[in-house]
Structure 1
Amino acid sequence: MTQWTRRAIVTALGAMSIVRPHAAAAAAAGATTGAGTGTWPSEPIRIVVPFAPGGSTDAVARLAAPGLQQRLGVPIIVENRSGAAGSIGTDVAAKARPDGHTWLLTFDSHALMPVLVPSLPFDLQKDLVPVTQIGRAPYVLACQPAKPYRDMADVFAAARRGGVSFGSTGNGTIGHLVMLMMAQRSGVELTHLPYRSGGLAVNDAVAGHVDLMIGSAALLAPHVSAGTLRPLMQLGSHRLNAMPAVPTATESGFPGLTAEAWWGVFAPAGVPGPIIDRFQSALIDTYREPRIAQQFTEVNQAELVLGDAPALAEFVQNQIRVWGDVARANHVRPD
């Protein structure tokens, strides 16, 4: 697998003609916003999603865009900058001018970037500040209905004969890591096919180009409902209402194993506190709108969290501890 170095990422950023000031210069420029919100927002706000369109992170961002635009009075632009386990887009957000017009909305691999990309061109904890954890959803393992798998016993029996593949939303996502754990515990090998986005992975799973698909319930639930994917196992602590017949990992022979995708919002370091507070408030109010909340929780089978910044910071530290060990033990690197 390709190991992304600082030079590789900087080269990739240059190829996309992204020009951002150095973090120190950005902080100095951001000082002009003062301690209060002033005239903020004074221009369109962009939400950087460090993954390609079509995945759950992109969908979560676009779900909130109209409500944020209504509450803040400026256009909301969702900007997809994918690559290197999310580090290319995260770098764009981390080095943006800290004036409250650029935010990062990212996925669970965020906490694993220091392990996945050893030479990051930014400091995950110093260059970004937490805003809120939007929500979480259990991972689900599914396959095309024409595939011969009905449960995990079928999967592992086929894997012992060789040639079973699974798709994920990328190396180092929790979905990838939990599949590694289950394969090791079962003494089998599974061929991993990482994709740049959940949308691309699901398309290939529905078409039957990959045997299995591991993704968040938010990503897979619409396809399960439509009958284009058959769920085999869910990795929450209990069965989802929309999938009452689908066993949990514990029920499938992996006691205590859970894995949840999550989405969180971060700001470039140096954004004034009052601006962060106002954006956080607008974000939370948007996701609490009945229509938006229903879309997020029922249609996507996800749970809204909408916690405060300290809660997100503590949560990310726990994710680094729990899943970082798995990534290091398996020498996982982004493609």
Structure 2
Amino acid sequence: MSGIPRRGLVLGAAALAAPAIARAQPSWPNGPIRLVAPFPPGGSADLICRLVQAPLQASLGVPIVIENRPGASGALGTAVVARGPADGQSFVLVFDSHVVNPALNPTLGFDPEKDLRAVMLVATAPMLVTTPVAKPYRTLAEVVTAAKAGADRISFGTVGVGSLAHLTMERLQQVTGTQMIHIPYRGGGPMSTAAMAGEIDLAVASVVGLGGQVGTSLRPLAQSGATRSPMRPDIPTIAEAGIPGVASEAFWGFCAPSGVPDAVVARFNAALASALAAPAVRQPLESQGCTVVASSPEAFGRFLQEQAAIWTRVVRERHITAQ
């Protein structure tokens, strides 16, 4: 998480954006603004879009339309915005899979660095390794023991090939010398439903993605952050569970087509910062273990480059390809 301060950026982002906002063309926005959530309803990307929808409408004075475009670990919905007009009327909420999709799929159809520009890192969160309560596992160590006893026996679900949850579990298998079955889903909602039905042994996603099932139908075994989340202090980290060298955090952020003017990006960033400062938006995220960041566009751009370098290496070392 280098380069991104954790707290106190909401007001700072708005203040830094003020000069650019003053130069924004008065014609923007000139109609409804579309927020593309590249995952199905019920997942974390969809939730964040819906949390900021009303305050953005109030701030920008136009309807905010949410469009779910799931598929290809978020790449299909992201491509819609990347290939669309740079008029500032469409933004996409990218998830952690965004930084490795180019390595997974050489025929992606767009270049994230060239065709998109960073707008804001909204939030970060550790992921949870959970198991349905009907399963026998009480600790992550028990899962590893079972995996070592029977290759290909333990299954884990994530929101897609190349998602950070998937890569974290690949790294875990690498460190422990185990082999598990990866079951990719089209989003957090479908995965949680499958987990509750007992169709998979493990469900791995952010707390937001797993929703209210944690502690009810899903038993948490470990969290992926380098340290325990203050919102989930009772759940050990993967390292504390006896597996050092495995740490990661999910992230969510908005991007726009690369040609969108600086002034428009600055104004949208400021509107997002204002929305995220509101208790009605911030508290639901923090209550589920998210750290609200509300970064500047420049800081998010650097963050994306750093994350791409880290996780592309895991993709190559584990020979992961899009399925």
Pair in the same fold by TM > 0.5? yes
SS of alignment partner, residue 91 of structure 2: strand
Greater mean alpha carbon deviation, residues 203-212 or residues 233-242: 233-242
Measure, in 2, the Cα distance between the counterparts of 1:221 and 1:90: 23
Residue 316 of structure 1 pairs with residue 309 of structure 2: no
Change (3 A) 1:276 1:98: same
Larger relative contact order, structure 1 or 2 (CA cutoff 8 Å, min sep 6): 2
TM-score, normalising length from structure 1? 0.86
Match 1:250 to one of 231, 234, 239: 239
SS of alignment partner, residue 220 of structure 2: strand
Measure, in 2, the Cα distance between the counterparts of 1:97 and 1:45: 12
Change (3 A) 1:101 1:218: same
**What is the match of residue 3 of structure 2?**
none
CA deviations on 1:202-261 (whole Å, 9 max, x unpaired) are 111112111101101222352124x11100001112222343322111111222431110
Measure, in 2, the Cα distance between the counterparts of 1:132 and 1:248: 27
SS of alignment partner, residue 266 of structure 1: strand
CA deviations on 1:27-77 (whole Å, 9 max, x unpaired) are xxxxxxxx7322211111101111222211111111111111111111111
Residue pair 1:47, 1:105 contacting (<8 A) in 2 also: yes
For residues 224-263 of structure 1, what are the structure 2 equivalents within 5 Å?
Answer: 224-225=214-215, 227-263=216-252
SS of alignment partner, residue 225 of structure 2: coil
**What is the match of residue 175 of structure 2?**
185
In the TM superposition, what is the alpha-carbon distance from 1:186 to its structure 2 partner? 1.3
Measure, in 2, the Cα distance between the counterparts of 1:269 and 1:187: 42
CA deviations on 1:181-206 (whole Å, 9 max, x unpaired) are 11122121111000010110011111
**What is the match of residue 164 of structure 1?**
154
Q: Percent identity?
A: 41
Measure, in 2, the Cα distance between the counterparts of 1:137 and 1:158: 28
Residue pair 2:81, 2:90 contacting (<8 A) in 1 also: yes
Residue pair 1:85, 1:116 contacting (<8 A) in 2 also: no
Aligned length in residues: 299
Return structure 1 stretches of 4+ with deviation > 6 angstroms: none
Residue 100 of structure 1 pairs with residue 88 of structure 2: yes
Residue 285 of structure 1 pairs with residue 274 of structure 2: yes
Measure, in 2, the Cα distance between the counterparts of 1:67 and 1:122: 31
Residue pair 2:155, 2:183 contacting (<8 A) in 1 also: yes
Task: State the one-letter code of the partner of 2:28.
Answer: W
TM-score, normalising length from structure 2? 0.89
In the TM superposition, what is the alpha-carbon distance from 1:100 to its structure 2 partner? 0.9
For residues 137-152 of structure 1, what are the structure 2 equivalents within 5 Å?
Answer: 137-152=125-140
Structure 2: tracts of 5 or more residues without a match = 1-22
Residue 76 of structure 1 pairs with residue 70 of structure 2: no
Residue pair 1:139, 1:214 contacting (<8 A) in 2 also: yes
Task: State the one-letter code of the partner of 1:292.
Answer: V
Residue pair 2:188, 2:210 contacting (<8 A) in 1 also: no
**What is the match of residue 205 of structure 2?**
215
In the TM superposition, what is the alpha-carbon distance from 1:98 to its structure 2 partner? 1.0
Match 1:204 to one of 172, 176, 194: 194
Task: State the one-letter code of the partner of 2:86.
Answer: P
Measure, in 1, the Cα distance between the counterparts of 2:104 and 2:38: 15
Measure, in 1, the Cα distance between the counterparts of 2:188 and 2:322: 15
Residue 51 of structure 1 pairs with residue 51 of structure 2: no
Measure, in 1, the Cα distance between the counterparts of 2:123 and 2:175: 29
Residue pair 2:159, 2:191 contacting (<8 A) in 1 also: yes
Task: State the one-letter code of the partner of 1:237.
Answer: A
Greater mean alpha carbon deviation, residues 141-150 or residues 238-247: 238-247
Task: State the one-letter code of the partner of 1:273.
Answer: D
Residue pair 1:64, 1:287 contacting (<8 A) in 2 also: yes
Greater mean alpha carbon deviation, residues 100-109 or residues 153-162: 153-162
Q: Say what the alpha-carbon RMSD is for the aligned residues.
A: 1.4
Greater mean alpha carbon deviation, residues 196-205 or residues 179-188: 179-188
**What is the match of residue 253 of structure 2?**
264
Measure, in 1, the Cα distance between the counterparts of 2:259 and 2:211: 38
